[in-house]
Amino acid sequence: SQTIHQWPATLVQPVGSPLSLECTVEGTSNPNLYWYRQAAGRGLQLLFYSVGIGQISSEVPQNLSASRPQDRQFILSSKKLLLSDSGFYLCAWDNGNTIYFGEGSWLTVV
Amino acid sequence: DAKTTQPTSMDCAEGRAANLPCNHSTISGNEYVYWYRQIHSQGPQYIIHGLKNNETNEMASLIITEDRKSSTLILPHATLRDTAVYYCIVRVASFNDYKLSFGAGTTVTVRA
């Protein structure tokens, strides 16, 4: 069966520090991969999606970036975090029929 | 913008069936109805989806009206662990429809 994992689950980072959130999918090949952000009490905002290795599309201009170095690995990064980057980040994968989400990562920028 | 409307909240007694309504009057012919739920501080969990026929799996049943303008998610025997926010969304079941639009959802509270 397919599974998705993302880590770390929670982190507190100072303003201006770098960020790296990692996501891996098991049990499937060539999935579409996504990074979403969910602000408190609000809906999902699509940040990045990828249809293959090295192929990244950005939905929202910001100081975040994404990379897909391997087929089932998706990384969300930032060189310098802002206070406004705080939130709940979700990795997801798509089998062409249903989108499945990871456990989420809580980021607090202080 | 969300294409669905759901009640803000509802309570359910433990062990009883929970019926969650959703209106999607502008649904297109190739759009499916999906249900997810989100327990606090966790990622959304896929529950079920359907096009026009009723669907059932180990978690729930989905009843879609004949005109497809509304649907009902049924949790047959609600437990305390079913307390969550439930989201009804519509999307095309393909790689090209990935910009999920989650509305406010229905906050379901299961009481002992």
Question: What is the per-residue pLDDT for B14?
Answer: 97
Question: What is the per-residue pLDDT for A38?
Answer: 87
Q: Calculate mean pLDDT across residues B16-31.
A: 94
Is residue B60 within 8 A of residue B73, CB to CB? The reply is: yes
Contacts (Cβ under 8 Å, ≥6 apart) of B67: none
The per-residue b/e assignment along B30-43, b for 16 or more CB within 10 angstroms, e otherwise, is: ebbbbbbbbeeeeb
Rounded distance between C-alpha atoms, residue B112 and residue B104, angstroms: 25
* Interchain contact, A99 vs B95, CB within 8 Å: no
Q: Is the pLDDT of residue B101 over 80?
A: no
Q: Is the pLDDT of residue B1 over 60?
A: no
Closest chain B C-alpha to A2 CA, distance in angstroms: 13
* Interchain contact, A59 vs B102, CB within 8 Å: no
For residue A51, give both structure tokens: 């249809």
For residue B49, give both structure tokens: 């989806």
Question: What is the per-residue pLDDT for B100?
Answer: 74
B52: number of Cβ within 10 Å: 14
Question: What is the per-residue pLDDT for A97?
Answer: 83
Rounded distance between C-alpha atoms, residue A41 and residue A36, angstroms: 14
Question: What is the per-residue pLDDT for A71?
Answer: 95
Q: Is the pLDDT of residue A84 over 80?
A: yes
Q: C-alpha A44: how far from its chain's center?
A: 12
Predicted confidence band of residue B95 (pLDDT cuts 50, 70, 90): low
Is residue A43 within 8 A of residue A102, CB to CB? The reply is: no
Q: Which residues pair with A35 in a beta bridge?
A: A48, A91
Average of per-residue pLDDT values in chain B: 91
Predicted confidence (pLDDT) per residue in B27-42, tens digit: 988 889 999 999 988 9
Question: What is the per-residue pLDDT for B58?
Answer: 95
* Interchain contact, B46 vs A98, CB within 8 Å: yes
Nearest to A44 among B45, B46, B102 (CB): B102
Contacts (Cβ under 8 Å, ≥6 apart) of A62: A47, A85
Q: Which of B38-47, B68-77, B97-106 has the lowest mean pLDDT?
A: B97-106
Predicted confidence band of residue A90 (pLDDT cuts 50, 70, 90): very high
Closest chain B C-alpha to A93 CA, distance in angstroms: 10
Is A85 in a helix, a strand, or coil? helix
Q: Is the pLDDT of residue B2 over 60?
A: no
Nearest to B46 among A34, A49, A100 (CB): A100
The per-residue b/e assignment along A46-62, b for 16 or more CB within 10 angstroms, e otherwise, is: bbbbbbeeeebeeeeee
Rounded distance between C-alpha atoms, residue B33 and residue A102, angstroms: 21
Predicted confidence band of residue A62 (pLDDT cuts 50, 70, 90): confident
Pairing of strands B106-111, B9-13: parallel
For residue B98, give both structure tokens: 């990935």
% of chain B exceeding 70 in pLDDT? 94
Question: What is the per-residue pLDDT for B78?
Answer: 96
